Amino acid sequence: MNAYRALVAEVDDELERCGRPRGSVTVVGVSKRQPVERIVAAIDAGLEDVGENYVQEAKAKFARLPPVRKHFIGHLQTNKAKAIAATFDVVQSVDRIDAGDALGKAASALGKEIPVLLQLNISPSERFGCPPERAPELAEALRAQRGLRLDGVMAIGPMTPDEAEISRAFELAAKTFALVGGSTLSIGMSGDWRQAVRAGSTMIRIGTALFGGRS
Ligand SMILES: *Cc1c(COP(=O)(O)O)cnc(C)c1O
């Protein structure tokens, strides 16, 4: 069976075990450092969302893909805001006011309103992201920014084999998501998507478990 369909089946089984409806989690295929053929194979099997961390790499790759929803999941630098607004449909990594401001202005200049997620920091191993206690304040500022439509929260789980620690971090993300509002809680990657789904994830970002090892 195709890797994408196999993953969706596993996610649906996990959702069922949690008493959640099948199909209630969106899979974003994280295609950084993956060959285009693997991404196209997943799209042919039904993948509709693709995530990339770097603008230059994304542009070259997107030009060779069938239509998909393009998610920016890398660090949002203000000097890249224009290129990101022009290249992507969704930006998951707004973690501070100046970055949101730059992105909103760039989107407005293009006549776009970009759906964004507020990136939370829920792990000591992560450099970026807004501390959870400051998320409501950032959310308010992002909602006031033209060119953006805040739709929820994204976070990267802690790099640890300790499953209880991962679950606690995801529960903090879910609690903060409830304060921020919106419809998307983007938590869970190849190694921790099950804990994320149990914590209420509505969007998982999967690279290696979908496409295999990165070059
Ligand atoms: C690389 C990356 C992923 C996917 O990682 P895998 O472990 O390969 O699934 C997800 N989210 C972000 C923000 C990433 O940088």
Tokens of 86: 């022009």
Average pLDDT value for residue range 57-77:
96
Does the beta carbon of 30 sit less than 6 angstroms from any atom of ligand 1?
yes
In 10 A of CB 37, how many CB atoms?
Answer: 9
In 10 A of CB 121, how many CB atoms?
Answer: 20
- Predicted confidence (pLDDT) per residue in 121-143, tens digit: 999 999 999 999 999 999 999 99
pTM of model > 0.75: yes
Q: Considering only CA atoms, which residue is closest to atom 6 of ligand 1?
A: 207
Assigned CATH class of 3-211:
alpha beta
**C-beta of residue 140 within 8 angstroms of C-beta of residue 96:** no
Q: Which atom of ligand 1 is found nearest the CA of 32?
A: 1
Output the pLDDT for position 215.
85
Rounded percentage of the chain residues whose pLDDT exceeds 70 = 100
Tokens of 121: 């920091």
**C-beta of residue 71 within 8 angstroms of C-beta of residue 92:** yes
Domain boundaries, the chain: 3-211
- For 92-148, the DSSP string reads EEE-SHHHHHHHHHHHHHTT--EEEEEEE---TT-S-SB-GGGHHHHHHHHHTSTTE
Does the beta carbon of 152 sit less than 6 angstroms from any atom of ligand 1?
no
Tokens of 162: 């300790």
Question: H/E element holding 166?
Answer: helix 163-180
